[in-house]
Structure 1
Amino acid sequence: MPSGVPSVEDFISALVVFLVVVDPIGLVPIYLGLTRGFDSRRKRTIALRGPLISFAIIVFFAYLGELVLSALSIGMPAFRIAGGALLFWIAFEMLFQRRAERKERTADDARTEEEAHDLAVFPLAIPLIAGPGAITSTLLLMDRYGATLGGQGMVLGAAAVAVGSVMALLVVADLVNKLLGRTVIHTVSRVLGIVLAALAAQTIIEGITAVYPPH
């Protein structure tokens, strides 16, 4: 586990993980579909509140997630292996465009069945932003860097930048969608899926070597 002050490379690595699993660009067309029919003021409220609530969820799991695992008698090596497998599945979905389709179905269900609920909480904050991938990544990164206050701040700082980028893109979602189009957005998501697959494989390797150290 890294000790001392985290390096810039550590921050970039954590930031890449959060950007990939949150997928800010990929959320733009989903958000537009989710808020179709709302006026601009309501859209802006949802775009601001959703990311803020999702960041609060990430902070909660950053500090209390390990207590939950301990209560369930789950060790971090096992969680690394399971978490890596989950991230690998998310990467698979991103590569073959199944993740976007699933998220769009979640948004459509919310529009028809949960219309009276605050869309900023469900489904935008959770599970679209602070979903299983983001929560798993938070726990894994806190396990790797969270031994010091500097490491904890680095992980939460990376999460804040990723969530902040979501907020910024959603506020100008109409312009982003017009400039890039769905084809470019989906292409970026697939490229990020390749990166996430490699990160997931590395996480699984770390979990296995923690149980069976190389000689």
Structure 2
Amino acid sequence: MVSLLLKMTVSFFAVMNPIGNIPIFISLTNGYSQQQKKHTARKAAIVSLCILTVFLVLGNFIFSIFGITIHAFRVAGGILIFGIAFNLLHAKTSNAQTPHSAEKKEAEEKEDISITPLALPIMAGPGTIATVMAHTGSGSFNISNLILVFIGFALVLAISYVLFYYSTPVINKLGQGGLNVVTRIMGLILAVISIQMIAEGIKGLFPHL
């Protein structure tokens, strides 16, 4: 159980990439006081927790409504996550996890940027949702599995909150080179996870292969 929790936590950490998101948080909260940064980071983490919990609890229900199988979702989710991993391997931010220019402009004009773009699409983006639903729809689906998935993304969101709160000293300590190294490592881990998801999905769709 501990190894499964560790695997889930690492996968969520890789797809959310909280360290790589620090520069985005700093740019969005430019001019904020430390108290405002704390409030924004806390609210973004709570909103992200709510979003991911909805997909965690209603994942199978969503599958049944749209007639989606977990195997097909694993293949699609794996491809999506691999796209994110590819960008991370080149120390680039993924389009799926990064606010568009319109969202950035809107964030600059509004005081509250905790929901958009911080919670969506940065923290609880498509890749994270895909990872949650892939774990939710696994063959070993049960209450204990739900709890493990919840603990996994809750831990990473808590880490994201702490890193956002201490974003300035963290980025000063790591520097751009350090951030790039961490981003590439997360990209490599995420690429392996995505390939595994695709392989499991194809095996389920074509059991005779």
Question: What is the TM-score with the length of structure 2 in the denominator?
Answer: 0.92
What is the CA distance between 1:144 and its match in structure 2? 2.1
CA RMSD of aligned residues (A): 1.9
Equivalent residue letter for 2:7: S
C-alpha offsets along residues 164-215 of structure 1, whole Å, 9 cap, x if unaligned?
1000111111110111112101211111111111111111111111122257
Distance 1:186 1:208, change over 3 A: same
Question: CA–CA distance in 1 between the matches of 2:201 and 2:48?
Answer: 27
Question: CA–CA distance in 2 between the matches of 1:160 and 1:203?
Answer: 21
Question: CA–CA distance in 1 between the matches of 2:42 and 2:106?
Answer: 23
Farther off after superposition, 150-159 or 67-76? 67-76
C-alpha offsets along residues 133-164 of structure 1, whole Å, 9 cap, x if unaligned?
10000001112276221111011001111111
Equivalent residue letter for 2:29: T
Question: CA–CA distance in 1 between the matches of 2:111 and 2:61?
Answer: 30
Match of 1:120 in 2: 114
Equivalent residue letter for 2:105: T
Question: CA–CA distance in 2 between the matches of 1:74 and 1:15?
Answer: 25
Match of 1:17 in 2: 11
Match of 1:3 in 2: none
Distance 1:159 1:102, change over 3 A: closer
C-alpha offsets along residues 99-139 of structure 1, whole Å, 9 cap, x if unaligned?
268866x2764453342262000100110000001000000
**Which 5+ residue runs of structure 1 have no aligned equivalent?**
1-6
Question: CA–CA distance in 2 between the matches of 1:171 and 1:91?
Answer: 25
**Which 5+ residue runs of structure 2 have no aligned equivalent?**
none
Equivalent residue letter for 1:40: Q
Equivalent residue letter for 1:112: K
Equivalent residue letter for 1:22: M
Secondary structure, aligned partner of 2:30: coil
Match of 1:42 in 2: 36
Match of 1:195 in 2: 189
